[in-house]
């Protein structure tokens, strides 16, 4: 077991990564299927059901629960997986219900990171491990950000690629749910070195809604490419001015504009050597 920081975005990112999620589910199913008959019985699935951590109070610490209540809950969970009620769970049932339960966990957690004790082989631990591989500690200052913004080819190309990625239904407009992950990348709640501070969920929701309204210049409930580009530039200029020209270390997401700004600067430095 290990103590990890976890939020809803980390879980959703793992679920949306088909290769990571499906591969983990298939590996886990095979591990649980001790007789390798392609079906999981209740006894084979019990350890997995316990990993869903249904009884906790704070920071992932289990509370003392009545054994009969535990048995009832785990039986109920098994029935949720057993969609056709035949007394066993096949791979597709296992995958579908695992996804549904993890989405519910993500929605329950929200986007405020909390500490949890996670089992090493659990899906939640795999979600955290996947997220850690995407994060980088980088040196960043205002000049790096401004240089990226002023490079039309680099900036516009990155913005257009990001817009297309966020526009999940490809209708040329971003709704609030489509934009939420991008708004979180702006790192509005930090104290030092890119470390997030603990923030009230209602405050977070209010701030992200306010940010979305800043992008939605014509107040029509969605953001088009030009609005996205203009507001992204304005916010990055504000970040650059706030940072100044003294480099600081920050934890950056792999696909963020700030990481792309750092990568562009590193490429420039390498080409001069």
> Does 210 lie in the same domain as 154?
yes
65, 98, 133 - which closes a domain: 133
In this predicted model, what pLDDT tens digit does every residue of 113-148 receive, in sequence order? 777 888 888 899 999 888 888 777 788 999 999 999
β-strands 195-196, 56-58 pairing:
unpaired
> Does 106 lie in the same domain as 151?
no
> Does 200 lie in the same domain as 245?
yes
> Does 88 lie in the same domain as 198?
no
Mean pLDDT of the chain, nearest integer: 84
> Does 170 lie in the same domain as 103?
no
Q: What are the helix (H) ranges across the chain?
A: 8-16, 18-32, 42-51, 67-81, 91-109, 123-134, 142-150, 152-166, 176-184, 201-215, 225-243, 257-272
* Higher-scoring residue by pLDDT: 71, 158: 158
> Does 167 lie in the same domain as 129?
no
> Does 164 lie in the same domain as 118?
no
87, 109, 133 - which closes a domain: 133
> Does 152 lie in the same domain as 45?
no
> Does 149 lie in the same domain as 126?
no
Tell me which residue range forms the domain holding 221.
141-272
In this predicted model, what pLDDT tens digit does every residue of 46-68 receive, in sequence order? 877 776 655 444 444 445 567 77
CA distance 78 to 200: 35
CB 14 within 8 A of CB 127: yes
CB 193 within 8 A of CB 249: yes
> How many structural domains is the chain composed of?
2
User: Given this model, what pLDDT does residue 20 score?
Assistant: 93
In this predicted model, what pLDDT tens digit does every residue of 197-222 receive, in sequence order? 445 667 777 888 888 999 999 999 99
User: Given this model, what pLDDT does residue 53 score?
Assistant: 54
> Does 99 lie in the same domain as 76?
yes
In this predicted model, what pLDDT tens digit does every residue of 217-238 receive, in sequence order? 999 999 999 999 999 999 899 9
CB 64 within 8 A of CB 129: no
CATH number at residue 202: 1.10.238.10
3-state secondary structure 90-148: CHHHHHHHHHHHHHHHHHHHCCCCEEEEECCCCHHHHHHHHHHHHEEEEEECHHHHHHH
User: Given this model, what pLDDT does residue 61 score?
Assistant: 46
> Does 238 lie in the same domain as 145?
yes
Other CB atoms within 10 Å distance of the CB of residue 201: 11
> Does 265 lie in the same domain as 159?
yes
In this predicted model, what pLDDT tens digit does every residue of 9-45 receive, in sequence order? 889 889 989 999 999 999 999 999 999 999 999 999 8
133, 164, 194 - which closes a domain: 133
In this predicted model, what pLDDT tens digit does every residue of 75-110 receive, in sequence order? 898 999 999 999 999 999 999 999 998 998 888 887
């Amino acid at each position: 077991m290990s103590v990890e920081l976890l939020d809803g975005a980390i879980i959703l990112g793992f679920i949306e990564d088909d290769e990571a999620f499906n591969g983990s589910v298939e590996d886990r199913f095979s591990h649980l299927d001790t007789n390798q008959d392609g079906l999981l019985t209740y006894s084979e699935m019990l350890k997995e059901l316990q990993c869903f951590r249904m009884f906790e109070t704070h920071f992932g610490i289990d509370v003392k629960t009545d054994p009969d209540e535990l048995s009832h809950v785990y039986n109920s969970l098994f029935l949720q997986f057993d969609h056709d009620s035949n007394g066993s769970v096949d791979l597709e049932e296992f995958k579908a219900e695992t996804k549904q339960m993890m989405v519910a966990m993500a929605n329950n957690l929200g986007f405020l990171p909390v500490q949890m004790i996670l089992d090493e082989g659990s899906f939640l631990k795999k979600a955290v491990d996947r997220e850690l591989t995407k994060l980088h500690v980088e040196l960043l200052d205002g000049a790096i950000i401004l240089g990226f913004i002023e490079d039309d080819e680099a900036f516009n190309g990155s913005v257009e690629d990001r817009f297309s990625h966020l526009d999940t239904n490809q209708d040329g407009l971003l709704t609030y749910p489509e934009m939420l992950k991008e708004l979180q990348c702006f790192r509005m709640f930090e104290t030092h070195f890119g470390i997030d501070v603990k923030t009230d969920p209602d405050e977070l929701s209010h701030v992200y809604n306010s940010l979305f309204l800043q992008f939605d210049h014509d107040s029509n409930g969605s953001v088009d490419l030009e609005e996205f580009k203009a507001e992204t530039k304005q916010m990055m200029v504000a970040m650059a001015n706030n940072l100044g020209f003294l480099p600081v270390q920050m934890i950056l997401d792999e696909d963020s504009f700030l990481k792309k700004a750092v990568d562009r600067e590193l490429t420039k430095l390498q080409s001069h050597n």
